[in-house]
């Protein structure tokens, strides 16, 4: 089945209006699986239970409608242990002793050999962009903290997109050097190292207190010695005024001109893809299919994600719905029950009574009952 083209046709026809701002979000998910014969069966980390579980691993790209603040699945692919294994060259490098090998030369960190995993994910991203074509303009790819490294950044930049992601909270960042340069030699690039406990006051862009939690937001441009591009960094610091406990997160983008509010908003919208996974598992069979062959598994997983898009289309066409798949299924199940009950009545009811009867039946068991 041409799932990618099918999803894009559905999204572009019913779920995107002219002028809507779009982005691409990518993330992986793990489903539990018993048995021994399923293609790609192995132990994969599950963020839900916080440990590796026996099951199957998938990676998905979705279209995030920033205007509607919704995510719509585009592509779903299965990943195996072989896809996620580190190459032997990388393992050998990690065992090398400290210090720079004698005779080694400087390398361009933009011109790198992507890992097999990044190459595969990049090929999926190019598939999505090729399907969309020039119908809409997409500037950003939203990824989680696992992609806060130079390999993932170059993977996205080679597709002419800017990445929005998260760095490790202890990442060594340096402000650009602003002092007087030497008359000879290469110009200095790195300035003061960022101390997350004492962030520069002049870089603070927002301050607020809510429910005893103080939130400070800082934005600045910075270099990382293992990342080729200058980064647009936003640090969010939260402090509990009662206990004094302090936590911070480090968000970044390769778009230097991106404002801090927009950067935070885009990264928060990345989580919409998690709702796609939840709905596909809970309602559309992503967690329950019994297929074991590669093509059957691919079709079952993509069918579940396609049904997520179908549910979004139905929400748009039923203004009484609040965007809950549970309510959507309750509505159609109630209509079916009501139609069967009406057949047992001795005389036909008035049309107004039938409408009221259908409304009452369809609201039974709903989380958000339809409005009158």
pLDDT in tens, 45-67: 988 888 999 999 999 999 999 99
Q: Are residues 295 and 343 in the same domain?
A: no
For residues 341 and 361, is the Cβ–Cβ distance under 8 A? yes
For residues 73 and 67, is the Cβ–Cβ distance under 8 A? no
In a domain, 95, yes or no: no
Q: Are residues 351 and 310 in the same domain?
A: no
**By CB neighbour count within 10 A (0-12 exposed, 13-18 middle, 19+ buried), where does 214 fall?**
middle
Q: Are residues 120 and 54 in the same domain?
A: yes
Task: Count up the domains in the chain and report the number.
Answer: 2
Q: Are residues 342 and 278 in the same domain?
A: no
In a domain, 181, yes or no: no
Q: Is the pLDDT of residue 92 over 60?
A: no
Question: pTM, whole model, 2 decimals?
Answer: 0.86
Q: Per-residue pLDDT averaged across 188-192, rounded?
A: 91
In a domain, 197, yes or no: no
Q: Per-residue pLDDT averaged across 101-126, rounded?
A: 84
For residues 122 and 151, is the Cβ–Cβ distance under 8 A? no
* Nearest by Cα to 173 from 147, 200, 151, 146: 200
Q: Are residues 48 and 115 in the same domain?
A: yes
Give residue 93's pLDDT.
Answer: 59
* 130's tokens: 């090729």
Q: Per-residue pLDDT averaged across 114-129, rounded?
A: 94
Q: Is the pLDDT of residue 318 over 80?
A: no
User: What Rg value do the Cα atoms of the chain yield, rounded?
Assistant: 25
In a domain, 85, yes or no: yes
Give residue 208's pLDDT.
Answer: 94
Q: Are residues 8 and 83 in the same domain?
A: yes
Q: For 66-86, write each residue's pLDDT tens digit.
A: 999 999 999 999 999 888 776
Q: Per-residue pLDDT averaged across 192-200, rounded?
A: 94
Label residue 359 by pLDDT band (50, 70, 90).
Answer: low
Q: Are residues 330 and 313 in the same domain?
A: no
Domain span at 289 = 1-89+107-143+270-317
In a domain, 35, yes or no: yes
Q: Are residues 311 and 355 in the same domain?
A: no
* Nearest by Cα to 52 from 35, 36, 33: 33
| Mean pLDDT, rounded, of the chain | 88
Give residue 320's pLDDT.
Answer: 58
Q: Are residues 126 and 48 in the same domain?
A: yes
In a domain, 173, yes or no: no
Q: Are residues 21 and 70 in the same domain?
A: yes
Distance, CA of 312 to CA of 326 (rounded, Å): 12
295 membership: H or E segment, kind and range: helix 294-317
In a domain, 60, yes or no: yes
In a domain, 70, yes or no: yes
Distance, CA of 220 to CA of 176 (rounded, Å): 10
Distance, CA of 259 to CA of 206 (rounded, Å): 12
Q: Are residues 37 and 70 in the same domain?
A: yes
Q: Are residues 334 and 288 in the same domain?
A: no
């Amino acid at each position: 089945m041409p799932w990618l083209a099918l999803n894009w046709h559905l999204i572009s026809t019913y779920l995107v209006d002219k002028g809507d701002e779009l982005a691409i979000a990518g993330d992986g998910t793990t489903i539990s699986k018993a048995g021994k014969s399923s293609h790609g069966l192995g132990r994969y980390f599950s963020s839900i239970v916080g440990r590796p579980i026996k099951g199957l691993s998938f990676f998905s790209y979705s279209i995030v409608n920033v205007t509607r603040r919704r995510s719509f699945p585009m592509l779903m692919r299965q990943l195996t242990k072989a896809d996620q294994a580190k190459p032997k060259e990388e393992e050998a490098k990690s065992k090398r002793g400290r210090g720079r090998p004698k005779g080694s030369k400087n390398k361009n960190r933009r011109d790198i050999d992507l890992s097999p995993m990044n190459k595969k994910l990049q090929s999926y991203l190019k598939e999505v962009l090729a399907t969309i074509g020039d119908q809409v303009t997409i500037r950003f790819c939203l990824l989680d903290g696992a992609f806060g490294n130079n390999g993932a950044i170059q993977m996205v930049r080679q597709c002419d997109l800017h990445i929005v992601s998260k760095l490790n909270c202890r990442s060594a960042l340096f402000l650009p050097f602003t002092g007087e340069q030497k008359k000879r030699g290469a110009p200095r690039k790195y300035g003061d190292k960022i101390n997350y406990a004492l962030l520069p006051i002049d870089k603070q862009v927002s301050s607020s207190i809510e429910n005893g939690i103080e939130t400070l937001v800082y934005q600045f441009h910075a270099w990382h010695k293992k990342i080729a591009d200058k980064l647009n960094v936003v640090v969010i610091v939260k402090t509990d005024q009662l206990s004094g406990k302090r936590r911070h997160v480090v968000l970044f983008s390769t778009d230097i001109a991106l404002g801090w509010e927009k950067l935070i908003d885009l990264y928060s919208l990345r989580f919409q893809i998690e709702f796609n996974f939840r709905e596909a598992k809970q309602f559309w069979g992503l967690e329950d299919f019994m297929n074991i062959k590669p093509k059957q598994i691919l079709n079952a997983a993509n069918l579940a994600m396609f049904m997520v898009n179908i549910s979004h289309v139905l929400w748009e066409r039923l203004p009484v719905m609040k965007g809950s798949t549970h309510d959507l299924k309750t509505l159609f199940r109630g209509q079916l029950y009501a139609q069967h009950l009406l057949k047992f009545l001795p005389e036909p009811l008035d049309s107004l009574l039938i409408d009221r009867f259908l409304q009452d039946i369809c609201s039974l068991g709903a989380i958000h009952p339809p409005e009158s």
